[in-house]
Amino acid sequence: MKKKPNILLIYTGGTIGMIKNSETGALENFNFNDLLECIPELNLLDCNISSKSFSNPIDSSNMKPSNWIEIGTIIEDNYKNYDGFVILHGSDTMSYTASALSFMLENLSKPVIFTGSQLPIGDLRTDAKENLITSIQIASLVENNQPVVQEVGLYFEYKLYRANRTTKINAEHFEAFDSPNYPPLIISGVNLSINHQSLLTAKKNKKLVVHKIFEPNILLVKLFPGINKETINHLFSTPNLKGMIFETYGSGNITNEKWFLKALKIIIDKKIPVVNVTQCAGGSVDMNIYSTNVIYRNIGIISGKDISTEAAVTKLMLMLGQNIPANNFKTKFETSLRGEMK
């Protein structure tokens, strides 16, 4: 008889596990075991479901690297005994956590699916049930004795995306996420339509390695017309700065005013990596087109290519935690680690 897959649900917090206090109207955390009882449909799924929860579930606005490490450690400790993992997480910073996990989990060969909801599970019109049920189904999918998904995904409103390609695009619509630079991996309709050629395939017989050191001393700076010298000089002299991400215009364009170039050169001369990421939702940095970006390429700024800001932040924090020699950092950052860039 075919063995039923074992799926581990990990509840970290967020709307999906909340209930409205009937007196105050405020959303409060709900006991996760009760939540499972609330969805009897889960018993109809062809898998064995177990669950674990953060001892203090948190709103995802409070997520930080130590929480990413906690999730990674739960996966590591349970990796042998489970065929797939579903992480329930608030939607606000889900793309950051899911991107971080994609970089932490090297040689991942089992599905790790992040999901959440816009409305609490107890709400009549909730999107939580569909998101949870289909995430579990996706985490259970097997073809030719292999899990279909062998990477970190994010499932929301009928689509599974590569997690490190996602961004939260809407605070109100059920379709809260998008992946502007990479197609959905699975679309849920009457059937699950699997986009096989877009999925990652794990290398055979490689042991899972979980990277757990993040360097949080980085800056994320969004350029805007009129940004002034004092602000930039203040930001650039942040003590203990280890890395920087610039959200630039269009295909990676930055003002070519002399004072700005000079300030940036000082940072780069200190061997602090600076990554160029576009502010545009879709498309890529290309530092070969305009004079406003070629000069920056020439001083050694790293091209983020078509990476999302969420993936750039978490990749930079993780790479800075790995003591990569300065002369190799740019090449390594510009190389796709988990399908996060072209």
| CB closer to ligand ASP out of 15 and 276 | 15
- The span from the CA of 219 to the CA of 13, in Å, is 27
- Active site includes 15? yes
Answer whether 60's CB lies under 8 Å from 16's CB: no
The stretch near ligand ASP (CB under 6 A) out of 38-46, 56-64, 138-146, 299-307 is 56-64
Beta strands in the chain (DSSP E): 6-11, 18-20, 27-29, 48-53, 84-88, 105-106, 112-115, 142-143, 146-147, 152-156, 159-162, 167-168, 177-178, 186-188, 192-194, 209-210, 218-222, 243-248, 274-278, 302-303
Least CB distance to ligand ASP at residue 112 (A): 19
Find the shortest distance in angstroms from Cβ 281 to ligand ASP: 20
Q: Which of 38, 52, 59, 106 binds ligand ASP (CB under 6 A)?
A: 59
How many other C-beta atoms can be found within 10 angstroms of the C-beta atom of residue 100?
Answer: 30
The CB-nearest residue to ligand ASP is 90
According to CB under 6 A, which one of 14, 273, 304, 339 is a site residue for ligand ASP? 14
Q: Taking contact as CB under 6 A, which single stretch among the options 10-18, 101-109, 136-144, 235-243 is the one that binds ligand ASP?
A: 10-18
Among 29, 53, 67, 91, binds ligand ASP (CB under 6 A): 91
97 binds ligand ASP (CB under 6 A): no
Note whether 167 binds ligand ASP by CB under 6 A.
no
Q: What residues between 108 and 127 interact with ligand ASP by CB under 6 A?
A: 116
Q: Report the interhelical angle of 94-104 vs 309-320 (nearest 10°).
A: 40
What backbone phi and psi angles, to 5 degrees, belong to 120? -60, 155
Residues forming contacts to ligand ASP in the complex (CB under 6 A) are 13-15, 59-61, 90-92, 116
Residues acting as catalytic residues: 15
